[in-house]
Amino acid sequence: MNIRIFDTTLRDGEQSPGVSLSPEKKLNIAKKLDELGIDAIETGFPIISAGEKEGVKLIVAEGLNAELCGLARTSKKDIDAAVDCGLNYIHTFIATSDIHLEYKLKMSRDEALEKAIEAVEYGKSRGLQVEFSAEDATRTDREFLKKVFGEVAKAGADRVDIPDTVGYSTPEYMADITKDTILATKLPVSVHCHNDFGLAVANALSGIHVGAACAHVTINGIGERAGNASLEELSMALQCLPQ
């Protein structure tokens, strides 16, 4: 089974409490990930600080074999910041669950959908590979989630990602919405699973078993709260466990 491994240690992993990586440390980690044969590395979130931009630029300048990606909200300034770092691949996201829309973004479903489409179209206009994430996908109304993914696919997204942002899914539900997403988009689908209920690797495997082409992981499963799907656990599960 040839599954794409997208490592987000340098972005989501750094959101672990107390973790702060200098640009030089980020470069060293990126080089080691590249030596391991990681397919794609999320280099950081360029818009958030000058130091973050510096780290991303150092990684881009190293000429690694892995695809290099930068995180961006559905905002032109975020996407421009990624381009300014020399990246040609962005991971753009907006929340789609009603709880996030009401309490965090203060916007309607239609407004969020419009911003998602605009970001994908703008990223493509800048010549970028675009991966779109529906943040808090596993708590999003299932029909609305299918609509969002279908519309960003029409807008030109190259990939879509299903984030289990607060580790809320079960393996059965992750399988169901992964199948929904594959049917709605006809695009490569990634799964980005958090470990709040100890199910990150199980949920990632469940998505993969029904057709997801990529898993987002971190070294040792580090990340905010209980962390992310572990690179080591997922890789060995794919290698050793019955598929």
pLDDT band at 190 (very low <50, low <70, confident <90, very high): very high
Looking at the predicted structure, is the pLDDT value of residue 62 above 80? yes
Q: How far, in Å, CA of 167 to CA of 192, rounded? A: 10
Average model confidence (pLDDT) across the chain: 97
Looking at the predicted structure, is the pLDDT value of residue 243 above 90? no
The string of DSSP letters for 47-66 reads: GG-HHHHHHHHHHHHTT-SS
| Predicted local distance difference test score (pLDDT) of residue 130 | 99
What is the value of pTM for the model shown? 0.97
Query: Rounded mean pLDDT of 78-89?
Result: 98
Share of the chain above pLDDT 70, in %: 100
Query: Rounded mean pLDDT of 151-156?
Result: 98
pLDDT digits (tens, 9 = 90+) for 161-185: 999 999 999 999 999 999 999 999 9
| Predicted local distance difference test score (pLDDT) of residue 104 | 98
Looking at the predicted structure, is the pLDDT value of residue 46 above 80? yes
pLDDT band at 116 (very low <50, low <70, confident <90, very high): very high
